[in-house]
């Protein structure tokens, strides 16, 4: 599996400079040992975590899908879920009107169906990303309360999981 560690730039630079042994100990501690002893097996990399949303999900005879249309931080597999939804929407449109594949009307319908969904995910995941990086005792307490509520309240947990999967 892959672990994505989101932190301040200064902390990331510090972690990148550590020995592999020190880094392994730090990631295991940071994950509270939930996944057992973690160790790096590939090169460590760092990149900015961003959100992006294309104004249009199409151009002449071209549909933009996946990261050509939307980019979200790696929280809850939303990038993958959005990408699969894009493909499913295009497939449904193509099956419904095979003669219209690539025509402007079909591409506009695709845009109208997918962009609002992607926009809501970009905004929602962006808010989660900002909340996960917020510092201070109030932010830490709010995160802990939120995670506890998700864990304890089964209907809330199920609803969030369904939202994440794109099930309504």
pLDDT class of 166 with cuts at 50, 70, 90: low
Percentage of the chain beyond pLDDT 90 is 45
Q: Where are the domains of the chain?
A: 1-47, 52-133, 134-168
**Cα-based torsion angle of the residue sequence 128, 129, 133, 139 in order, rounded to the nearest 10 degrees:** -10
pTM: 0.71
157 vs 44, more confident: 44
CATH of 52-133, one of 2.60.40.10, 3.90.1150.10, 3.40.50.11260, 3.50.50.60: 3.50.50.60
Q: Report which of 55, 104, 107 is spatially closest to residue 86, judged by C-alpha positions.
A: 107
DSSP 8-state secondary structure symbol assigned to residue 102: T
The overall average pLDDT reported for the chain is 87
In whole angstroms, how far apart are CA 138 and each of 10, 134, 143?
22, 9, 9
Instruction: Render pLDDT for 93-129 as a digit per residue (tens, 0 to 9).
Output: 999 999 999 999 999 999 999 999 999 989 888 787 7
Provide φ and ψ at 52, rounded to 5°: -145, 150
């Amino acid at each position: 599996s892959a672990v994505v560690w989101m932190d301040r730039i200064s902390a990331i630079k510090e972690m990148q400079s550590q020995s592999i042994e020190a880094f392994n100990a730090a990631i295991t501690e940071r994950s509270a040992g939930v996944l057992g002893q973690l160790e790096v097996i590939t090169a460590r990399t760092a990149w900015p975590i961003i959100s992006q949303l294309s104004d249009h999900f199409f151009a002449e005879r071209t549909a933009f899908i996946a990261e050509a249309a939307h980019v979200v931080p790696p929280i809850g597999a939303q990038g993958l879920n959005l990408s699969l939804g894009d493909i499913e929407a295009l497939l449904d449109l193509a099956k419904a009107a095979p003669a219209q594949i690539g025509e402007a009307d079909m591409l506009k319908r695709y845009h109208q169906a997918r962009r609002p969904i992607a926009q809501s995910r970009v905004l929602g995941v962006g808010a989660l990303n900002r909340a996960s990086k917020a510092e201070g005792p109030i932010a830490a307490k709010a995160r802990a309360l939120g995670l506890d509520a998700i864990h304890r309240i089964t209907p809330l947990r199920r609803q969030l999981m369904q939202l994440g999967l794109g099930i309504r």
